[in-house]
Amino acid sequence: MNKFRKSLSFQISLITILSYLVMAVVIVVVVYSRFETRMILDYTRMAEGVTQLMANAYDTTKTDEYIEKNFSLQEYKDLNKYYYTLKDNYPDIYYMYVYRFEDPTSPTATVIIDLDQEYTDNPPQDSIDWIGDTYEVDEPFASELEAMISGKHPIVHTVHTQDNEYLLSFVRPILDSEGNYVCSACVDFSMDFLHQQDVNFMFRLMSILGVMILIILFFTLRWISIKVTTPLDSISHCIDGFVYETEADRFNNVNNLEALNIPQDNEIGKVFNSFVANMKESLFYMSNYNKAKDEIVDKEKEIKEISIMTYVDGLTQAKNKAAYLKADEELQQGIANGKTDIGILMVDVNDLKYVNDTFGHEAGDKYLQGCCKILCDIYKRSPVFRIGGDEFLVVLQSADYSKRAKLYQETKNCFTKAHNDTEREPWERYSASIGMAIYQDGDTVGDIVKRADKAMYDHKMAYKKQNGSYR
């Protein structure tokens, strides 16, 4: 499955599909945005016409009489009926009403006409008691009362009501014959209804677009398969079966390639021909390749063995002083480049002279090897160097550096436990003094080593004070 995902055929198909999907999403988003903007503009133009008709039919001299007498006044009934007729002729209108907005310092409005029920010539009294009531004006219209009362131009906003309705509200000033503000003709359109229309439109658009894209995508992928992916898959599959063990295998590789039916009329065919030609030309040189390769491998092996011998201590198999000098240069270069996670552990083997003098140098060698093994077992991720006869140095790295305090205590405990184990042979009661230091601002590698050596010396003095000295 992972190999298939990495194949060029899969990637080309995936990129093609994603490209069409991105294109479809972009088209849908752009069209949706354009459609919604156009719908708002259409509703705004509709509101301009309706409110103009409302203003033309409104008698500006009878506002107070409309409020006071309302349905007991025939002219109010006729005006109310006319407004209902307008609303019926414009079914997209959600609310239609006439309010008189008051002083800008007091954001309130008085109800004159409000078509919030089914039309009737004689509505019950409890349904018209609200005529003449005063309501507090909400934002954003509250901030524009001065402009609304001045009667300069209509105001349009999208608003969220307290009943969680989302409306497009259009407010036109109704002016008297002298151009003074009297009241405002208002209509609301439901943005929720508008959005539902948008959704229905987008669903139809996406359905049509989806079918078209599927058809185009099918033929596109088919063409890509014939011209690109199938030839590439054939070449790739053939190459996967190549064998290079013998010269006959290599001739067979070329024959298998030439047997492929690769179209020659495009760039893939040209590249394929060049590849086959290069394969043929290389056959002559390949006959001597394995021999040359074997010689190189043998030389590299010899060089590697010599290199290992140069930098490995023959007795303990730890890295030797030469390896440490090389590591010292690398550490110093690291400090110059800003590396600060550097730690040094200095180790001095205790009682080596006693073991050599008492049990012989063969026992002393085993003693050194045992001490080195303890260090290597604990500091698995860090290089251990033997820099002197009985001196070791560890360059703390990776997790050994981050856990240095824990490992430091573990090392001390391990040597202490071995030294105190009286059931062991004397040359197996390993003991060593250790000291650790880490990089501080301005340090060189030598500074770190000096502090670690000082800590090791203090540890050795404490050991001698407790156990005596055989040196």
> Which H, E and C letters describe 322-390, residue by residue?
HHHHHHHHHHHHHHHCCCCCCEEEEEEECCHHHHHHHHCHHHHHHHHHHHHHHHHHHCCCCCEEECCCC
H helical segments located in 60-125: 63-69, 74-89
Give the residue extent of every domain in the chain. Answer: 9-121+128-196, 306-467
The encoded tokens of residue 402 equal 């981050």
348 strand-pairing partners = 391, 433
Half-sphere exposure (Cβ direction) of 432: Cα atoms closer than 13 Å: 31
Give the E-state strand segments of 150-266 in sequence order: 155-160, 166-175, 181-190
Encoded amino acid at 130, one letter? W
Same fold, 9-121+128-196 and 306-467: no
List the pLDDT tens digit at each of the 471 positions of the chain. Answer: 555 555 656 667 778 788 877 876 777 666 656 667 888 888 889 999 999 999 999 999 999 999 999 888 999 999 999 999 999 998 889 899 999 998 778 888 999 999 877 777 777 776 677 888 888 888 888 888 888 888 888 999 988 877 778 889 999 999 999 999 999 999 999 887 666 666 676 677 778 878 888 898 788 877 777 777 777 777 777 887 777 777 787 778 778 877 777 776 677 777 777 777 777 777 666 656 556 565 656 666 665 556 556 799 999 999 999 999 999 999 999 999 999 999 999 999 999 999 999 999 999 999 999 999 999 999 999 999 999 999 999 999 999 999 999 999 999 999 999 999 999 999 999 999 999 999 999 999 999 999 999 999 999 999 999 887 654
Task: Give 195-199's long-range contacts (Cβ < 8 A, gap of 24+).
Answer: 195/36, 195/166, 197/39, 198/32, 198/35, 198/36, 198/39
CATH 3.40.50.1100 fits 9-121+128-196, yes or no: no
Where does 306-467 sit in CATH, by number?
3.30.70.270
Polymer length of the chain: 471
Q: What are phi and psi of 468, to 5 degrees?
A: 85, 180
Contact 363, 355 (CB under 8 A): yes
One-character DSSP codes across 208-221: HHHHHHHHHHHHHH
Location of structure tokens 């992916």:
229
